Amino acid sequence: MGKRQGMAALTMALLTACGPAPAGRDIHAERTAHVTARMEAHVGDNAVPALVASGLVVAAVASAPVAMGETVPVDLPLQLTDTALVAIPPGRAGDDTGAAGNAASGQAGTTMRFSPEQVVPFAKKVEKVLAGRGAFVALLARKGRLQAEMPEGMAFTHSGFAVYSEITTAAGRRVPGYAVYNLYQQEKHPDVSDLVTDYPSNFFAGVAELEAGIIIPSPTLQKRLLSTIASPTYASLHNPQYSVIANPFTLGRQNCTEFVLDVLNAAIYQTDDIEKIKTNEKAYFEAQKVNVNPLKLMLGSLFSAEVSLSDQPGKPVTATFEMIGRYLAAYDKGSEMLTVLPD
């Protein structure tokens, strides 16, 4: 193994990653207007508390997130199809049963540690947990590396948004289920990312451990997230310049978890102004210190395209799923954080 290959293996063993995009086309679920309409019946506009400073934060002035609270409970559970959905690769016919052959495609370039027969039931269990709690939008995370390989304070390697949707299958059926909105690295250009929508069976296809992290925001914040994800703001917050250890307080690089944090705060503050979002994140979000030997980080940035220190003005920090959970626990009353394991 050459020096470049050796350093890439070292850094990827130590650092989190958002993974390559799934092998398949970007399938967007039917947009969330119908879900928003359903939520209107449970969380009316009058139930949404006013944000400080008339809902916006003036430039360079931080404003604490308002504790939104769980104002009105939703009906439990949400309807959910028994079908396990997968994103079908281009040019491949396929039914809408979530057959093992389709699920096996997983994520490009990854080694399958678990069989489709293990992944598909687990993915469906995660969906049932979300539906059972009436979650229209939740933060979803997976473990792409063994816990023993992870830096201190980090457990999950990738996160996205699970959005309850009416999904049109390849066979033309319209079924209720969860679509997952992700930021993925490009397989051939790991320092570049794309926004991709897939399904839980794809999301968990290449994991190292079958364990899901879930954060369910309060109903009020879910409503705001639905509006943000369905709007141009969602794509506008994407920075394709990827780093596995992106600093959440700067604008130079971005990874999947920082993107989730940015979208989350766009919804909380109801703004698409990234400068205002970053000002508030720096003031109120606690980033995770990257507990990796500085020399290894420096060498990793030289030999691995996905590791960059260009956006780290001091000791490296990054956003993690766990720290987002702590952030919402402090500022979004009624949010819930849990894990799901296989049966």
Length of the chain: 343
Model confidence at 172, in pLDDT bands (50, 70, 90)?
confident
Of 264, 308, 265, 302, the C-alpha closest to 290 is 308
Residue 62 pLDDT:
63
Answer yes or no: is pLDDT of 4 > 60: no
Any idea which residue has 């399958």 for tokens?
112
Residue 220 pLDDT:
95
266's CB contacts (< 8 A; 6+ apart) are 228, 233, 237, 272, 277
**φ and ψ at residue 206, rounded to 5 degrees:** -110, 25
Residue 110 pLDDT:
52
Percent of the chain clearing pLDDT 90 (strictly above):
48
| Strand ranges (E), 257-321 | 288-289, 317-318
Least-confidence region, from 260-264, 269-273, 289-293 = 289-293
Residue 170 pLDDT:
76
What are the structural domains, with CATH classification, of the chain? 3-340 (3.90.1720.10)
Model confidence at 297, in pLDDT bands (50, 70, 90)?
low
Measured CA to CA, the distance from residue 80 to residue 127 in angstroms comes to 8
Measured CA to CA, the distance from residue 131 to residue 196 in angstroms comes to 22
Supply the DSSP symbol for 108: T
282 vs 52, which has greater pLDDT?
Answer: 282
Are the CB atoms for 65 and 220 separated by under 8 Å? no
Model confidence at 289, in pLDDT bands (50, 70, 90)?
confident
Residue 292 pLDDT:
62
Measured CA to CA, the distance from residue 243 to residue 260 in angstroms comes to 15
In the predicted model, what is the mean pLDDT of residues 232-253? 92
Paired with 177 in beta bridges are 165
pTM: 0.77
Answer yes or no: is pLDDT of 15 > 80: no
Measured CA to CA, the distance from residue 75 to residue 197 in angstroms comes to 26
Residue 43 pLDDT:
38
156's CB contacts (< 8 A; 6+ apart) are 16, 141, 142, 143, 213, 320, 321, 322
Angle of CA points 73, 78, 79, to nearest 5°:
160
Answer yes or no: is pLDDT of 165 > 60: yes
In the predicted model, what is the mean pLDDT of residues 209-225? 96
Helix then strand count (H, E) for the chain reads 11, 8
Are the CB atoms for 65 and 332 separated by under 8 Å? yes
3-state helix, strand, coil in the chain (%, to 5): 35, 15, 50
Percent of the chain clearing pLDDT 70 (strictly above):
64
* Amino acid, res. 117: E
* pLDDT tens digits for range 78-130: 788 776 777 644 322 222 222 222 222 234 445 678 999 999 999 999 999 99
